A and B are shown apart, each in its own frame.
Chain A
Amino acid sequence: MLKKKWAASIALATAMFGGAAMAADITLYSGRGESFVQPIIEQFERDTGLKVNVRYGGTPELALLIQEEGRRSPADLFWGQDAGAMGALANAGLLATLPESLYNELPDIYTSETGQWVATSGRARVIAYSTTRVDEAEIPESVFDLVRPEFKGRVAMPPTNGSFQSFVTAMRVMHGDERTLEWLKGMAANDIVTFRNNTTAVQGIADGEADFALVNNYYLPRFVSADADYPVAQTFFAAGDVGNLVNVAGIAVLNSSRNQENAQKLVGFLLQPSAQQYFTQEANEYSVTPSAVSNPLLTDVNLVLERAPQMDLDTLADLEGTLRLMREAGLL
Chain B
Amino acid sequence: MTLAMAPPLPVKSRRIPWLLLIPAVLVALSMLIPVVYLFLRAFQADVDQALALVFRSRNLDLLFNTLKLAAGVLAVATFLALPLAWIVTRVRLVGQGFWTTLAIVPLAIPGYVMAYSLLSIGGHYGFMSRVFGISMSNIQGYWGAVWALALYTFPYLFLNIRSALQGLDASLEESAQSLGYGRFDIATKIVIPQILPALMAGFLVIGLYVLGDFGAVALMRYDAFSYAIYNQYAGAYDRIYAAWLSLMLLALALAFVLIDVLLVRRRLSSVGSSSGRQVSKVSLGRYWLIAGPYMAFVYLASIALPAAMLLYWMLQVPVEAGLLTRVSMTFLNSAGAALPAALLAATLAIPICYLSVRYPSRLTALIERSTYIGYSLPPLTLALAMVFFALQTAFFFYQTLGLLIVAWTMATLVLAMGPIRSAIMQARPNIEEASYSLGYSGLQTFRFVLFPRLRRGTVAGIVLVFLFCMKELPITFLLSPTGFSTLAVSVFSRTAEGQMAEAAPFAVAILLFSSLSVGMMLRQEKSQ
A27 proximal to B (CB < 8 A): yes
A206 proximal to B (CB < 8 A): yes
A134 proximal to B (CB < 8 A): no
Please pick, from B237, B337, B339, the residue contacting A60 in the complex, using a CB distance under 8 A: B237
The residue in A16, A60, A69, A332 that gathers the most chain B C-beta atoms within 10 A of its C-beta is A332
A259 proximal to B (CB < 8 A): no
The residue in B57, B237, B336, B499 that gathers the most chain A C-beta atoms within 10 A of its C-beta is B237
Complex contacts, B140 vs chain A, CB 8 Å: 209
A137 proximal to B (CB < 8 A): no
CB within 8 Å of A: which B132-175 residues: 135-138, 140
Stretch in B205-213, B271-279, B490-498 with 4+ CB within 8 Å of A: B490-498
How far is B398's CA from A191's CA once the two chains are assembled, in angstroms? 39
How far is B395's CA from A146's CA once the two chains are assembled, in angstroms? 46
Q: Are A21 and B483 in contact (CB under 8 A)?
A: yes
How far is B236's CA from A285's CA once the two chains are assembled, in angstroms? 26
Give the number of residue pairs across the A-B interface with Cβ within 8 Å: 123
How far is B239's CA from A186's CA once the two chains are assembled, in angstroms? 27
Q: Are B340 and A207 in contact (CB under 8 A)?
A: no
Number of chain B residues close to chain A: CB under 8 A: 43
How far is B398's CA from A55's CA once the two chains are assembled, in angstroms? 13
Complex contacts, A204 vs chain B, CB 8 Å: 138
Q: Are B333 and A195 in contact (CB under 8 A)?
A: no
How far is B238's CA from A244's CA once the two chains are assembled, in angstroms? 28
Whether A22 touches B481, Cβ cut-off 8 Å, given contacts A11-B340, A60-B235, A159-B235, is yes
Q: Mark B113-138, 1 if CB is under 8 A from A, else 0.
A: 00000000011111000000001111
A287 proximal to B (CB < 8 A): no
- The closest CB in chain A to the CB of B493 belongs to A34
B332 proximal to A (CB < 8 A): yes
Q: Are B126 and A207 in contact (CB under 8 A)?
A: yes
Q: Are A14 and B401 in contact (CB under 8 A)?
A: yes
B484 proximal to A (CB < 8 A): yes
CB within 8 Å of A: which B222-239 residues: 231-239
A112 proximal to B (CB < 8 A): no
Q: How large is the interface on A (under 10, 10 to 19, 20 to 34, 35 or more residues)?
A: 35 or more
Q: Are A14 and B337 in contact (CB under 8 A)?
A: yes
The residue in A60, A204, A326, A330 that gathers the most chain B C-beta atoms within 10 A of its C-beta is A204
Taking the closest CB of chain B, its distance from the CB of A38, in whole angstroms, is 11
Q: Are A208 and B235 in contact (CB under 8 A)?
A: no
Complex contacts, A149 vs chain B, CB 8 Å: none
Q: Are A65 and B237 in contact (CB under 8 A)?
A: yes
B65 proximal to A (CB < 8 A): no
Q: Are B137 and A208 in contact (CB under 8 A)?
A: yes
Q: Mark A206-242, 1 if CB is under 8 A from B, else 0.
A: 1111000000000000000000001100000000000
Whether A18 touches B137, Cβ cut-off 8 Å, given contacts A10-B340, A327-B238, is no
B391 proximal to A (CB < 8 A): yes
A120 proximal to B (CB < 8 A): no
CB within 8 Å of B: which A160-215 residues: 160-161, 194-197, 199-200, 203-204, 206-209
A293 proximal to B (CB < 8 A): no
Q: Are B336 and A18 in contact (CB under 8 A)?
A: yes
A35 proximal to B (CB < 8 A): yes
A58 proximal to B (CB < 8 A): yes
How far is B395's CA from A72's CA once the two chains are assembled, in angstroms? 9
Q: Are B332 and A61 in contact (CB under 8 A)?
A: no
Q: Are B237 and A199 in contact (CB under 8 A)?
A: no
B482 proximal to A (CB < 8 A): yes
Complex contacts, B399 vs chain A, CB 8 Å: 55, 74
How far is B180's CA from A118's CA once the two chains are assembled, in angstroms? 86
Please pick, from A16, A61, A194, the residue contacting B221 in the complex, using a CB distance under 8 A: A194
Q: Mark B231-258, 1 if CB is under 8 A from A, else 0.
A: 1111111110000000000000000000
Q: Are B483 and A57 in contact (CB under 8 A)?
A: no
Q: Are A17 and B336 in contact (CB under 8 A)?
A: yes
B27 proximal to A (CB < 8 A): no
How far is B242's CA from A61's CA once the two chains are assembled, in angstroms? 13
B467 proximal to A (CB < 8 A): no
B503 proximal to A (CB < 8 A): no
The residue in B122, B136, B236, B343 that gathers the most chain A C-beta atoms within 10 A of its C-beta is B236
B58 proximal to A (CB < 8 A): yes
Q: Are B221 and A196 in contact (CB under 8 A)?
A: yes
Q: Are B497 and A7 in contact (CB under 8 A)?
A: no
The residue in B124, B140, B333, B398 that gathers the most chain A C-beta atoms within 10 A of its C-beta is B124
Additional A-B contact list (8), CB under 8 Å, known A21-B481, A160-B236:
A14-B340, A17-B332, A18-B337, A55-B399, A58-B234, A159-B235, A208-B135, A332-B236
